[in-house]
A and B are shown apart, each in its own frame.
Chain A
Amino acid sequence: MLLAALTAACLCLSIALPAQQPSPASPYTVVARDGRRPLATRVFGGQEMFALDDLARLFNLAVREDAAAGGISITSGTQSVVLSQQQPLASVSGRMISLPTAAVRDGRAWYVPVDFVSRALAPIHSTKLELRKPSRLLLVGDIRMPRVAARVEPLGSITRVTLEVAPPTPHTVTQDGQQRLIVRFEADALDAPDIRAGATTDTLQNIRAGDTPQAITIDLGPRFASFRAADQPGPAGSTRIVIDLVAQTEAPPPAGGQPPASGQAPAPAAPPAQPETPPLLDLPPAGGLRTIVIDAGHGGDDTGVKGEKGTLEKNVTLSVARRLKASIETRLGVRVLLTRDGDQSVASDQRAALANNNKADLFISLHANASVRPGVAGIEVFYLTLEGYGAEAQRLATGRADSLPVLGGGTRDIEITPWEMAQARHLDQSAAFARAVEAALRDRVTMSPRALQQAPLRVLVGVNMPAVLVEMGFLTNPQEEQQLAGDERQNTIVQALVDGVLRYRSSTQGTR
């Protein structure tokens, strides 16, 4: 008797509960060869669901409820899925798959979680089904609809627009008058729901969906002079279209942007007074610098410092590293390598090895700081100390050679530096580089009271070239967290670091 009452109560609840919280979520869009149509969803217990009847109509499914076995059988062509009525499970052609939640019954209709389409229906359906949850799309059949996201980096006289396209899709970039560029893709449509510029410059006003569903329009600013576009491989099966918008120069110089050919006089270093409008190339790729390695700290599971608002150190370091690479390459014409160009973990030794194997001339490691006291703020520049590494390291730093016997008699002085102590040889240069970087930063941003420091830092020990580690600010300080997450502060730091490299280079010119 009691049992029956309880069961009845449960049944009532299970029917009443879902009915209480139907929520008006915006519908998915089903995109097929013959057009688009909306597909409504409802939210039950925090999970977004499709009505099984809607799916049956769309995809010609036969749905049969087997009350005795507690299942729902869904057949498409010759294959079928059996969906459990109580558990978040389904059997797809005999294989068990799990779902985020069990099917829900509301009145006479059954609802299934949206993931049911990708996990259970797609494997048995005769035409291709692709569910894109972030853009709320369901692609049916062979629809070419690449995802496109835009990023804008103001780099002095150049504004760099990067379109990340996945999967890679053939495209053209054309100029339409003086007002806009059009990027046209060989696709059926674009998956770029909220594409926008995010930042405007005097050569870029906006990025928006194009006049046709296959195009994106870039609205140009009043100082736009010319553009150049190039494709680069992007992370994980994507491609990057890098479009540089070049601004007009005030007084038309000898065209071409190259410095005038001079016999032996070294070209002057960039004037640090006007970092906002740097020339395209400050110097030919000489002057002692050929390769610079930029190390974005942390990555992958190692998130680094986490700010109160959720800013992760690993993301800030990667973002600044990418901007710095672009800026150094365009302004100094120096090759730049990143120790990581994605969100992956990289061991300290691997970071040093990349720099050493590529014979880099400088190594810049980017980090963000933390303090148990939230008031602490400011940028700090570190280089290595060998205090604490013992007498052997000190001997390496002073550069005393070992005398070794040579075949045929006599001795020869050979300097042996263990690979893991490679930095020992470069401490003086690292100190000079750190001072240059610190001075360039001090001109632009607030520094920590201890702006220039030495510490036994792991990532620097094995680096066989002048090396610094820049702590770009404290993510534990609410104000600095907000600044570091934004474009403005990141670009300021990039400008300062480029300037620091230039100052270091001019200080060493003639000594190399």
Chain B
Amino acid sequence: MMDRRRLAIAGFVVFGLLAGWALFFGLPHWYASRQAQVQAGTAAAPPPPAAPGAPVRKITATLYYVAEDGMALAPVQRDVPFGATVPEQARAIVEAQLAPPAGTTPPLVSAIPPDVKLRDVYLTERGDAFVDLSSEIVSKHPGGSLDEIFTVYSIVNALTVNLPAITRVQILVDGKEVDTLAGHVDLRHPLAKSLDWVVHESH
């Protein structure tokens, strides 16, 4: 008699413990991992999930390259992958701006040194974008005020011109604030769009 009662109590205790674990640890854990899977899925595949073989969705954006006379930035219309959110779209635009320009005649010349990787783009509520670039932007920069101005403003303008939600851009290198890229342009503050450096006719 006593034994059966004890067994029942023990059973309750064990059940209670199991239920408690499931409620407070197991469920959140399972849910979190599921969420992560969902997010990874959206981040990896361009939304909406494209059918195999279907073209990736694109938008047309204005990117900036060094004009033929070398005295200004020339705006060039280019297709870039569509991004569902502002940060995603910002990332796609910066990545397109960093990539070496594909074959056109006359060839476009980028003001951004080769091999620069985009580490991340952050956005604040005030419309400041922080563009975190790999250290090649410093180590491979040829220097000179004009070239550094073109490097900085091709990134600043590519974001501010294409995305009205972004009003200012600050460039970070390897996750850190920097004084300058090569000793000239002050990068300690976010910079607003400047069309002083852009030629007016479109290619």
State whether the Cβ of A176 lies closer than 8 Å to any Cβ in chain B.
no
State whether the Cβ of A185 lies closer than 8 Å to any Cβ in chain B.
no
Task: Give chain A residues whose Cβ lies under 8 Å from the Cβ of B70.
Answer: 371-373, 375-376
Task: Give chain B residues whose Cβ lies under 8 Å from the Cβ of A237.
Answer: none
- By the criterion CB–CB under 8 Å, are B111 and A376 in contact? no
Task: Give chain B residues whose Cβ lies under 8 Å from the Cβ of A471.
Answer: 144-146
The listed residue (B111, B145, B168, B196) touching A372 by CB distance below 8 A is B111
Restricting to A420-461, which residues have a CB under 8 Å from any CB of B?
Answer: 448-450, 454-459, 461
Task: Give chain B residues whose Cβ lies under 8 Å from the Cβ of A450.
Answer: 71-72
Q: How many residues of A contact B (CB 8 A)?
A: 38
Binds A, one of B55-63, B86-94, B115-123, B184-192: B184-192
State whether the Cβ of A305 lies closer than 8 Å to any Cβ in chain B.
yes
Evaluate whether A456 and B145 lie within 8 angstroms (CB atoms) in the complex, with A348-B179, A448-B71, A449-B69 already known.
Answer: no
- By the criterion CB–CB under 8 Å, are A382 and B147 in contact? no
Q: How far is the CA of A475 from the CA of B142 in the complex (A)?
A: 10
State whether the Cβ of A323 lies closer than 8 Å to any Cβ in chain B.
no
Evaluate whether A382 and B145 lie within 8 angstroms (CB atoms) in the complex, with A372-B66, A455-B185, A456-B186 already known.
Answer: yes
- By the criterion CB–CB under 8 Å, are A476 and B189 in contact? no
The listed residue (A372, A382, A388, A454) touching B142 by CB distance below 8 A is A372
Give the secondary structure class of A's interface: mixed
- Name the residue on B nearest A369 (C-beta): B144
State whether the Cβ of B149 lies closer than 8 Å to any Cβ in chain A.
yes
Between A and B, how many residue pairs show CB distances below 8 Å?
A: 103
Q: How far is the CA of A77 from the CA of B180 in the complex (A)?
A: 58
Name the residue in A313, A375, A382, A388 with the highest tally of chain B Cβ atoms < 10 Å from its Cβ.
A388
Restricting to B136-168, which residues have a CB under 8 Å from any CB of A?
Answer: 142-147, 149-150, 168
- By the criterion CB–CB under 8 Å, are B146 and A304 in contact? no
Task: Give chain A residues whose Cβ lies under 8 Å from the Cβ of B194.
Answer: 387-388
Task: Give chain B residues whose Cβ lies under 8 Å from the Cβ of A306.
Answer: 142-143
Task: Give chain B residues whose Cβ lies under 8 Å from the Cβ of A369.
Answer: 144-147
- Name the residue on B nearest A304 (C-beta): B143
Task: Give chain A residues whose Cβ lies under 8 Å from the Cβ of B183.
Answer: 297-298, 302, 304, 348, 458-459
- By the criterion CB–CB under 8 Å, are A458 and B180 in contact? yes
Q: How far is the CA of A476 from the CA of B69 in the complex (A)?
A: 14
- Name the residue on B nearest A460 (C-beta): B186
- By the criterion CB–CB under 8 Å, are A456 and B185 in contact? yes
Residues of A in contact with B (beta carbons under 8 Å apart): 297-298, 302, 304-306, 313, 348, 367-373, 375-376, 380, 382, 387-390, 448-450, 454-459, 461, 469, 471, 474-476
